[in-house]
A and B are shown apart, each in its own frame.
Chain A
Amino acid sequence: MPEIRLTVIDPSGLHARPAAKFVQAASRFTSRIHIRHDGREADAKSLIALLGLTIRPSSDITLAADGPDADAALAALTAELSPYIDPAGNPAG
């Protein structure tokens, strides 16, 4: 199951508007997609689950996809988040 680790660098964390766009993008794929943060996991196709993770700036998240279009889903979702993230290991100042 492909996974990718990312660091949220947006000063507001993953707030409502990007989270909503992320959920809309995730729902276009048939794979099951999860986002993990701080030991908790949310269904990437549910805004309420995603907002419930309260993802803050400079925190690490992991995207995991399972299904026939998993690789394409992770690529598209990483692109969707690109204004808000950095590859993990490059913490924002």
Chain B
Amino acid sequence: MVGLVLISHSGTLVEGLREMVAQVAGDEVTVATAGGTEDGRLGTSAPRIASAIRQALDSGADEALVLLDLGSAALSLELALEELDPADRLRVRITEAPLVEGAILAAVQASIGSPIDQVIAAAEGAATLAKLPRD
């Protein structure tokens, strides 16, 4: 099963998102989070991101899909990927999907055992998902 890694500048945001994901998709999908800096401020941290990715891969996920928020999250993620063992790195994919909606859609798709390409497609579909009725 695909697991998720959620990266945000805010630890509160990813913890809340983890709760939403578990309620909608169930608790079978592994969700690891890296929110905020090591000293609890808003920001991103490469070591925390690397640790979240390893946690997802070590707790039963065959592959990990990473979703992130904005700006320096991408730079920290790049550094985190360099820290990983090459074998782990091969099991990680990244998506530009919107963090909140993408995580929920990806988790539901992962929960039914879909391969990672389908999980990524579900997450990325969140960018154009209709939220309001058409009429």
Contacts and interface: CB of A to CB of B under 8 A. Distances in A.
A27 interface: yes
Contacts, number: 42
A45 B111 CA distance: 11
Mostly, the B contact residues are helix
Contact of B126 (A17, A20, A46, A48): A48
Interface residues of A, number: 15
Contact of A47 (B26, B109, B131): B109
A24 interface: yes
Interface stretch (A2-10, A51-59, A62-70, A74-82): A51-59
A25 to B, nearest CB: 10
Interface size class of B (residues with CB under 8 A): 20 to 34
A53 B130 CA distance: 8
B25 A52 contact: no
Interface in B120-135: 122, 125-126, 129-134
B130 A52 contact: yes
B108 interface: yes
B125 A48 contact: yes
Nearest to A59: B133
6 contacts: A17-B24, A24-B108, A24-B111, A45-B112, A47-B122, A51-B129
